[in-house]
Structure 1
Amino acid sequence: MSKSALDKDLQRVTGLETATHDLGRALAAPGIALVFLLVAAVWASFSVVQGPTTYVVVIGAIIAGYMALNVGANDVANNMGPAVGSRAVSMVGALFIAAIFEAAGALLAGGDVVNTVARDLLTSAEFDTSTFVMVMMAALLASALWVNLATYIGAPVSTTHAVVGGVVGSGIAAAGFGVVNWPTIGAIASSWVISPVLGGIAAAGMLAVIMSTITNRIDKISAARIWVPIFVAVMTGVFAMYLATKGLSRVWSPDVWTTAILGVVFAALGWIISMPWVRKQSMNMENRKKHVATLFRLPLVVSAALLSFAHGANDVANAIGPFAAIVTALETGHGEVANIVLPFWVLAIGAIGISLGLALFGPRLIRTVGEQITKLNEIRAFCAALSAAITVLVASALGMPVSSTHIAVGAVFGVGFLREYISRRDMEGTAVPVNARFVDATQLNATPEEALANARKTEGRLLVRRHHVYSIAAAWVVTVPASALLSGLLFLGLDLIVG
């Protein structure tokens, strides 16, 4: 009896230790995030001229840091999700790579679109300084809260759309509907449909090309030695142009011809370097799809890293754009946003916050994009990553408003729906009635492999999880109006407190 009682006591102690450990891990991430926000507040207080508005800058820095954490937790999943879902890189490796390249992109080339946050969305510049500060403060806090909610429910949303909704909502609350540049808002709304469709079509088309040139060939190894270097060349050329036009636009703005020449040069370099590498990797490789797909592993990781760099350069403005506008307005004493100054310390808060948010809260959304929408391997993930960059490039050249977040997720949908279409097409007219297998010996499956294939065809299985399609699409549509409504309410609350 004493032994039994002792065992029960030990089990209770072990359970208590396990619960304490799990609780500690659950509280660690919010604790680290809170420390970051406090450091951002202290940093802001020492980075501006001391005066009666210092507390406003400190509060703005806390909100900007909070938004940066949410951008890292939600938005970066679109870049690293396919790489993790295809098992090309581990979760820890993905977090490490993305954190470095996101921070590098934000610090080295970030902030180019900061001036567009309010200038292109609000047609009126007649706000006094205090009103303008409250408009930007409400917009930043509302967008951060909405992205936080989206991350909590596991929905990858566009942080750009959240900021847009925030600025529009607080602008309307401050000066009425006439202050909003509605054609711009209409263009943004159109991107809800345009972006995922373009991304899905591009990814599905690329996957179809790879299937026809490599994976559906009898001699897959020989085909891979020819075509994989070509796809790598396309990747290096596209990303050279992508970084020149999107990722490095703050420090370098080449013209169209320079960008095209840059793409050709890097495409040639990619082909030259990858030729011997592919040949070496394919030596003694089995002539199977699973083995050939591993040749796309390294290009996939490189493309995900470059997407993270470009994302850091572009989307750091979503975290610190309104805050930079607040700092500029307080320093100049005008509610004018034509030329927003971007101090390095403001940019650093955004860069560090994005990387920290990714490391602390990013895994959940990374798994959603990479694993829960559809099954990915290295080839499908490579198609999703490269098509995202191609689609953004083409859309930017044509002046089409698109969301990189929607494109990336739409690309994952695209490869999944293409596989589902091919599976259903192959199933038509080939299913064998179950009863016939027991009545007519000629209808029996010749091999276990044939039996499994017929079973799969008969099932007509869905390769894209529909509930994720519906929930993500709903979150996309709701983002702008929800953040706008929340921002308007926050502005009215601030105005009531200040007034």
Structure 2
Amino acid sequence: MGSDIVLYIVIVTALAFDFTNGFHDTANAIATSISTRAMSPRAAVAMSSVFNFVGAFISLEVAATVASGIVNAGAVTPTVVFGGLIGAIAWNLATWWFGLPSSSSHALIGGMIGSVFVADGASAINGDGIVEKVIIPALIAPTLAFAVAGVSILIAYRVVGRQRPGVVNRGYRLGQIVTGSMFSLAHGTNDAQKTMGIITLALIANGNLSANDFHVPTWVVICSATAISLGTYSGGWRIIRTMGSRIIKMDPAQGFSAQGAGAAVVLTASHLGFPLSTTHVISGGVMGAGAAKRLSAVRWGVAGNIALAWLLTLPCSAFIGGLAYGLSSIFGSDALGVILVALLVIGLIAAAFGTRVRRGPALTTPPAGAEA
């Protein structure tokens, strides 16, 4: 009975992470469309949430990687999964608080690595899988998006260089609706699968599924798709401001190029089973679209802060994940430790958000003038 209680808590925590993933990464898909006024904020988040939901049903390759390619499945227990999820949620909320676009994917992977390490040592971590499936794609993907977006914007400017700006901007704003939809679809395809993989891993660890016949239950797919879609619809306005205007002052052609390049990279990675950071990809695309116009167009100080958040994501989420597992395991293998840590985390989040609300306006409202 105790193991079932832990499993239920893990599933709820995983869906909570999926929700934070949605609102944390809303900016990836729609910040450029809002910045260039291709879409109103509310229309953009509604569109993105729908395509995130649809994208979750396209492929399960990334879910398989998360469930079996990062850590040794035999060393995983529901409590280990719980610790990893707490590490990911904590880092997502911390970076969202400061408006930094960090990787929810790497936060989840880091949390799992830290939790497994504390539980079973370094031998339970698949180093080759981390290098091949996480580190290398993390380096290649934003660089590729940077290059593709840069080439795309140069071609775009050459093609429409003699046209009237008003006509050109209207055309690219319409194009951004398409590229924004494609990036949202790609985000759902890649990111929702990570939660599917984590829940499936917990089900295997609890004995509900066979480790020899990996498959993601339909109810897991539906629940994960719904959670990330609802999170997306809630919006992550602090990060939207960073992505949409603080890296570069974007025109519709640049927004179109950045979104198109990002969607192509993420969809390709999803097909290959790479748990890619959509944040890394779209940030690379935005910087590439700005730098191709002129290097000074990119606010490199803001870009440096984002890069620092990227570098800290894996180790910080791993530390928190290991700490969460360690605290849970103090009380033994039954449900008591998990329940106490869950209540502690809920209390800390409530206290932090309560303090913020008393000091100023709610963080989930759109930026001033965003509806204009």
TM-score tier by shorter-chain length is 0.7 to 0.9
SS of 1:115's equivalent in the other structure is: helix
Is 1:121 the counterpart of 2:70 in the alignment?
Answer: yes
Specify the alignment match of 1:19 in structure 2: none
Structure 1 residue 403: Cα displacement: 3.4
1:40-189 equivalent positions in 2, closer than 5 A? 51-106=1-56, 108-109=57-58, 111-122=60-71, 124-127=72-75, 132-187=77-132, 188-189=134-135
Deviates more, 1:357-366 or 1:149-158: 357-366
1:367-390 CA distance string (max 9 Å, x none): 221122111121111100111133
Determine if contact 1:159/1:318 at 8 Å carries over to the other structure.
no
SS of 2:100's equivalent in the other structure is: coil
Specify the alignment match of 1:409 in structure 2: 283
Specify the alignment match of 1:302 in structure 2: 178
Q: 2:158 is matched with which residue: 201, 208, 212?
A: 212
**Alpha-carbon distance change, 484 to 388 in structure 1, aligned in 2, over 3 angstroms:** same
**Alpha-carbon distance change, 339 to 491 in structure 1, aligned in 2, over 3 angstroms:** farther
Is 1:491 the counterpart of 2:325 in the alignment?
Answer: yes
Determine if contact 1:73/1:361 at 8 Å carries over to the other structure.
yes
Determine if contact 2:26/2:235 at 8 Å carries over to the other structure.
no
Specify the alignment match of 1:382 in structure 2: 256
Structure 1 residue 498: Cα displacement: 1.8
In the superposition, the TM-score normalised over structure 1's length comes to 0.62
Task: Tell me the distance in 2 between the aligned counterparts of 1:155 and 1:319.
Answer: 22
1:346-425 equivalent positions in 2, closer than 5 A? 346-392=220-266, 403-421=277-295
Task: Tell me the distance in 2 between the aligned counterparts of 1:185 and 1:328.
Answer: 21
Specify the alignment match of 2:306 in structure 1: 472
In the superposition, the TM-score normalised over structure 2's length comes to 0.81
Task: Tell me the distance in 2 between the aligned counterparts of 1:347 and 1:401.
Answer: 16
Determine if contact 1:105/1:308 at 8 Å carries over to the other structure.
yes
Task: Tell me the distance in 2 between the aligned counterparts of 1:105 and 1:392.
Answer: 12
1:309-328 equivalent positions in 2, closer than 5 A? 309-328=185-204
Task: Tell me the distance in 1 between the aligned counterparts of 2:276 and 2:228.
Answer: 22
1:181-217 CA distance string (max 9 Å, x none): 21222332234432222211111111111112222x3
Determine if contact 1:77/1:365 at 8 Å carries over to the other structure.
yes
Task: Tell me the distance in 1 between the aligned counterparts of 2:165 and 2:126.
Answer: 51
1:59-82 CA distance string (max 9 Å, x none): 113211210111111123211111
Structure 1 residue 291: Cα displacement: 2.6
Structure 1 runs not aligned, ≥5 long: 1-50, 221-287, 422-461
SS of 1:109's equivalent in the other structure is: coil
Structure 2 runs not aligned, ≥5 long: 334-372
1:8-19 equivalent positions in 2, closer than 5 A? none
Aligned residues: 332
1:169-248 equivalent positions in 2, closer than 5 A? 169-187=114-132, 188-215=134-161, 217=162, 220=163
Letter of the 1:371 counterpart: S
**Alpha-carbon distance change, 151 to 126 in structure 1, aligned in 2, over 3 angstroms:** same
SS of 1:80's equivalent in the other structure is: helix
Task: Tell me the distance in 2 between the aligned counterparts of 1:56 and 1:134.
Answer: 7
Specify the alignment match of 2:165 in structure 1: 289
**Alpha-carbon distance change, 148 to 397 in structure 1, aligned in 2, over 3 angstroms:** closer
Task: Tell me the distance in 1 between the aligned counterparts of 2:50 and 2:173.
Answer: 20
Q: Which has the larger radius of gyration?
A: 1
Specify the alignment match of 2:336 in structure 1: none
Structure 1 residue 89: Cα displacement: 0.3
Determine if contact 1:146/1:162 at 8 Å carries over to the other structure.
yes
Letter of the 1:305 counterpart: S
Structure number with the bigger relative contact order (C-alpha 8 A, sep ≥ 6) is: 2
Percent sequence identity is 30
Deviates more, 1:288-297 or 1:168-177: 288-297
SS of 2:279's equivalent in the other structure is: helix
Task: Tell me the distance in 2 between the aligned counterparts of 1:143 and 1:372.
Answer: 25
